[in-house]
Chain A
Amino acid sequence: MKSMRPGLARARGPGAAGSGTETFWRQRVTSLLGLPLAAALMIVFWKLAGANYASARLLVANPVVAVLMVMAIVNFAVHMRLGAQVVIEDYVHRPVLKPFLLMINTGTAYGAAIVAILAVIRISAFG
């Protein structure tokens, strides 16, 4: 089908919003990446289940485990922030509350991710 949009609008791209479908696409990319990363996390959870303090530290300090955990943390922080953002945008329409909750969401998701990443780095890099 021939496009209904005029040539100039198509050339200029996404229009007045200045952006388009990046978040939709990023949610799909992080969901696909999340499948092997979630499997890796499940294996780590499994190994941690019966572990005492020393063996838990040793496991997280393992370079492969540490790298996989940081990758998973980054991936899922992005994914869950976007997911919660959609939920907020669907159900909250009050002018001040909505942007406030969106900011809380971003801060919580990335804040928790930073805490988790620093913990993994401290365990793996500084023994």
Chain B
Amino acid sequence: MEKREERRHPRPLAPDLQTYRPTLTMTMSIMHRATGIALYAGFIGMAAWLAALAAGPQAHAAMQQVFTSWVGLPILIAFTWAILHHAFGGVRHLIWDLSIAHTYPWREYLTRATLIASLVCASLFWITLLWTGGHPS
């Protein structure tokens, strides 16, 4: 009896990603999570790189070959952008945590600002780095 009723009138579901029209703040929230998970992987990569540096010249050379290859370099570039995107996005969330800039249009300006800041900073970082060929220190 109850089950038949349930089939005819299914219980309302909480609206989620499939229900809402995509918005910038929503997409950026998803990106914050995605970059967070990507940075998790990047952290493991950094640990592996440090372990190779500690292990000796041969391990370091092998690791450098991976990181500076045509597969490794785009991943490194994406990694630096993910750091900046997650950091600026984190600042945005901390601002929202303080109940500031919740309302239209400020939340949209803030969201756009963090996206642009991450793209500009990551671009500047890599253009300058590749231009100067890095620090031979």
Query: Measuring CB to CB, which residues of chain A are less than 8 angstroms from any residue of chain B?
Result: 28, 31-32, 34-35, 38, 41-42, 45-47, 49-53, 55-57, 59-60, 73, 76-77, 80, 83-84, 87, 108-109, 112-113, 115-116, 118-120, 122-123
Are the CB atoms of B80 and A45 closer together than 8 Å?
Answer: yes
Q: Give the complex CA separation of A87 and B30 in angstroms.
A: 11
Tell me if B129 is interfacial: C-beta within 8 Å of chain A: yes
Within the complex, what minimum Cβ distance (angstroms) separates B128 from chain A?
9
Q: Give the complex CA separation of A49 and B73 in angstroms.
A: 11
Q: A35-B87, A42-B80, A49-B134 are in contact. Are A77 and B33 (CB under 8 A)?
A: no
Q: How many residues of B contact A (CB 8 A)?
A: 32
Q: Knowing that A50-B133, A108-B44, A115-B51 touch, tell me 7 more A-B residue pairs with CB under 8 angstroms.
A: A47-B137, A50-B135, A52-B136, A53-B57, A80-B40, A84-B37, A115-B50
Q: Say what secondary structure dominates the interface of chain A.
A: helix
Q: Give the complex CA separation of A71 and B76 in angstroms.
A: 22
Most buried by A among B39, B47, B134: B47
